[in-house]
Structure 1
Amino acid sequence: MAVDATHLSELLAHGFDTVIDVRSPAEFAEDHVPGAINLPVLDNAERARVGTIYKQESPFLARKLGAALVFRNAAAHIEGPLAHHEGGWRPLVYCWRGGQRSGAFTWMLGQIGWRADVLRGGYKTYRRLVTQALYDAPIPHRVVQLGGYTGTAKTDLLQHLDRRGVQVLDLEGLAHHRGSLLGGMPGGQPSQKAFESALAQALHRLDPARPVVVEAESSKIGALLLPPSLWAAMKAAPWIEVSAPVPERARYLAEAYADVLANGERLRQILQHLVAFRGRPVVDHWSDLITQGDMTALTAALVTQHYDPAYDKSMRAVAPSVAVRIATERLDPASLDVVAGRIEGALQTMVI
């Protein structure tokens, strides 16, 4: 039986025991329905081979070869990762457009006695619903932005707020990037589509009736763009702004970015991109601090000579509505928990 989905929530709360993506590993790696497992009925090379035959030789020959490969691979999945399932198992299967790959695999599962269904329209249906939710319609959530100069521990504050039961949306975590020049993380970022899938799932879990705290960002985190519906909500959201002294922020950044600061040569290469903005003498001074190994002095210089001027410029351009300002002298865990408590209290009195 084919399952129709007209709203993203129907797929994110689908009720099936397992969601199976039978597309190739490369297709799955780019993006997939959250929680799906990948059991490809054609691997990357097989899919390319069948496609070439379809275009260059004959659709019939391509379908014949494709059928043989699909059933051979499906049999291996049934004997392997699916062998432990009992008769009542209920999977939802999808491919690119809900056609031959998912149809054949679902038929085979059904012949065994499993209650398998196929997603009508396949991944294309899912992607259309994600686009609808993040591009075409306003998000229903009551967003509050958490702002402040670089190094005011905003990401850590989100974790403290989350432990207090406050709803948070960790965009940098979803984007796998710390949102600044030095923000790259091991393993790189997900694809734009995968980022949007993770974002859509995170929003689905949040209660629109309660405030959602999100770290103030630009419209781009690393190489990833914030979808327009979320960006529109963020631009209209009130701010809670956190401040801390420069020496404390420098100390915090030296610890938080220790992995990046440890690679001096790579760090120099990154900072070279700022010559056009900050001038050669300033960047050369940063390079000298790297040579000296004084990372706290380096982060202090970056704060005062680059990050703070950039933030001030952004604030003049954006002119956000800052509802609450919270100052702290320290950014250690105990102090951050105190700040989180003040933010939680502010949320209860803010008009959002």
Structure 2
Amino acid sequence: MGASALNRPDSRDFARLFLADTPFIDTRSPGEFAEGAFPQAVNLPLMDDEQRAQVGLCYKQQGQQAAIDLGHRLVNGPVKESRIAVWRAFAETHPDGYLYCFRGGLRSRISQQWLQEVGIDSPRIIGGYKAMRRFLIQQLEASAQHRFIIVSGQTGCAKTRLLQEVANAVDLEGLANHRGSAFGKRLGGQPTQIGFENALSIALLKRRHASPQAAIVLEDESRLIGRIAVPEVLRESTMRAPLAVVEMSLAERVEHTFHNYILQNLSDWQTHAGDVAGFAAFAEELRQNLATLQRRLGGHRHSQLLSEMNAALVAHVRGNPEAHRAWIEPLLRDYYDPMYAYQLGLKAGRVVFRGSYAEVSTYLGEAH
């Protein structure tokens, strides 16, 4: 695949690139990438963090040309060959890909030139990460002016699953890798705030592009999803949006909670760490999650629930996971339900529909 085969121009058509899930080579240093990136980007840096720091210091003290010369000395010989090898492998696997650095400057031009020397055409993104990030901030502000329908309901109403079945929905909890409650941690940790905002802006852009006139469906979230903050510009807009409320029996919600927070979480942990270590980590996480609610629950109620949780964990390890329902039900009924009822009461004027899971799903599918 030579440069003459594709000869694709460098681009600043950010909307097209994001809508197409274009693969990106991010040539920034690992530290820069860790602070915030795009969902479709892979970090294949020109310089590592230490090399970048050395070149940056040289630039400040001696100017651009001296910094360029130092960069070439640091990334030379086998190091240079290894950089080109991984870029080439990515470009051959993703012939529609683009590369960028922070501002679309020296690092991406050098990377592009080195690839051209081995016959690979890999166009750059003009303006780099900084310009794309600015574009996504602007798009997030534009998306906040769009119409929304917010799905609400008591804890355990399978709202996330409902959103995943609705064509014009964006799953905020999925993007934040957190279920949004004290028990909502997921393996893999959460993205950075910037990474979340980038992914959110892209998801909203796709929904607006696919159905410009249709309302976007979101779940009713608090300000924080785990440690990730819902951008204020979006939160202000959704706090005025109409609500569709899912109604489920306590028994149904206990069942959903049991399946997702017990069976699924344990499966994830054991896949990650093995059966024994996975169960131990799963059990400790449950206890820690309950501990975060101790002040709100009060000492006596927390002690009761912890005792029931520990008894359930003993039964579980002996082959009876069903015992977890003994603490899940009172936690939902006596803690989460009153809190939800109070919060929904503050939003009562925004409720436009109430119904079962299936009825809300049908309503959302027909809403425009």
Does structure 2 conserve the Cα–Cα contact (< 8 Å) formed by 1:21 and 1:94?
Answer: yes
Match in the other structure for 1:291: 310
TM-superposed CA distance for 1:272, in Å, is 2.3
Superposition deviation, residue 130 in structure 1: 1.4
What SS class does the counterpart of residue 182 from structure 1 fall into?
Answer: coil
Q: Which residue of 2 aligns with 1:157?
A: 162
Stretch of structure 1 that moved more, 46-55 or 24-33:
46-55
Q: Could you tell me how far apart the structure 1 residues matched to 2:90 and 2:247 are?
A: 55
Distance in 2 (CA, whole Å) between partners of 1:223 and 1:208 is 31
1:306 aligns with 2:335: yes
Displacement of 1:216: 1.4
Counterpart check, 1:222 vs 2:239: no
Gaps of 5+ in 1: 328-338
Change (3 A) 1:279 1:97: same
Are the aligned partners of 1:146 and 1:214 in contact in 2 as well (CA < 8 Å)? Answer: yes
Partner Cα distance (1:66, 1:42) in 2: 8
Cα offset for 1:14? 6.9
**How far did 1:150 drift?**
0.1
Taking the TM superposition and a 5 Å limit, the aligned residue runs for 1:13-32 are 13=19, 18-32=23-37
Report the Cα distance in structure 1 between the residues aligned to 2:255 and 2:39, rounded to whole angstroms: 38
Residues 194-246 of structure 1: per-residue CA shift (max 9 Å, x gap): 11121122122212322332221112211111123332332222111111121
- Equivalent residue in structure 2 for 1:279, among 277, 292, 298: 298
Is 1:146 matched up with 2:144? no
SS in 1 for 2:103: coil
Does the C-alpha gap of structure 1 residues 62 and 280 become closer, same or farther in structure 2, counting only changes over 3 Å? same
Where do residues 224-243 of structure 1 align in structure 2 (5 Å cutoff)? Answer: 224-243=228-247
Aligned to 1:137: 142
Asked whether 1:315 is paired with 2:319, we answer: no
Q: Which residue of 2 aligns with 1:97?
A: 103
2-structure distance, mates of 1:347, 1:80: 45
Match of 1:175 in 2: 176
Matched, 1:69 2:88: no
C-alpha spacing 1:237/1:15, structure 2 compared with 1 (3 Å): closer
Task: Pick closer, same or farther for the CA change 1:127–1:320 going to 2, 3 Å.
Answer: farther
Measured against aligned partners, the alpha-carbon deviations of 1:169-192 in whole angstroms (never above 9, x if no partner) come to 111111100010100001110111
Q: Which residue of 1 aligns with 2:320?
A: none
Measured after TM superposition, the shift of residue 45 of structure 1 is: 3.0
1:39: how far off? 2.2
Identity score, percent = 35
Once residues 303 and 38 of structure 1 are traced to their aligned partners in structure 2, the CA distance between those partners, rounded to angstroms, is 43
CA contact (8 A) 1:23 1:95 kept: yes
- In 2, Cα distance between the equivalents of 1:138 and 1:157? 22
Label 1:32 to 1:70 Cα distance change in 2 as closer, same or farther (>3 A): farther
Letter in 2 for 1:212: I
Contact (CA 8 Å) 1:22, 1:41: kept in 2 or not?
A: yes
Task: Please tell me whether the aligned partners of residues 171 and 214 of structure 1 are also in contact (alpha carbons under 8 angstroms).
Answer: yes
Check whether the contact 1:54–1:61 (CA below 8 A) recurs between aligned residues: yes
Aligned length: 330
8 Å contact from structure 2 (residues 177, 186) kept in 1: yes
> Residues of 1 paired with 2:120 and 2:310: CA distance?
64
RMSD over aligned Cα atoms: 3.0
Shift of 1:132: 1.4
How far apart are the structure 1 equivalents of 2:38 and 2:310?
Answer: 47
Matching residue within 321, 346, 349 for 2:363: 346
Residue 33 of structure 1, CA deviation: 3.5
Structure 2 unmatched runs, 5+: 1-8, 267-278, 313-322
SS of 2:28's partner is coil
Contact 1:98 1:123 in 2 (8 A): yes
**What is the alpha-carbon distance in structure 1 between the residues aligned to residue 261 and residue 73 of structure 2?**
52
* SS class of match (1:189): coil
Distance 1:271 1:227 in 2: 28
| CA displacement, residues 99-153 of structure 1 (integer Å, 9 cap, x when unaligned) | 221122223334555544333321111111111122x435354321111000111
Q: Compared with structure 1, are the counterparts of its residues 35 and 109 closer, same or farther at alpha carbon in structure 2 (3 Å cutoff)?
A: same
- TM norm structure 2: 0.78
Equivalent-residue separation in structure 1 for 2:21 and 2:337 (angstroms):
48
| Larger helix proportion of the pair | 2
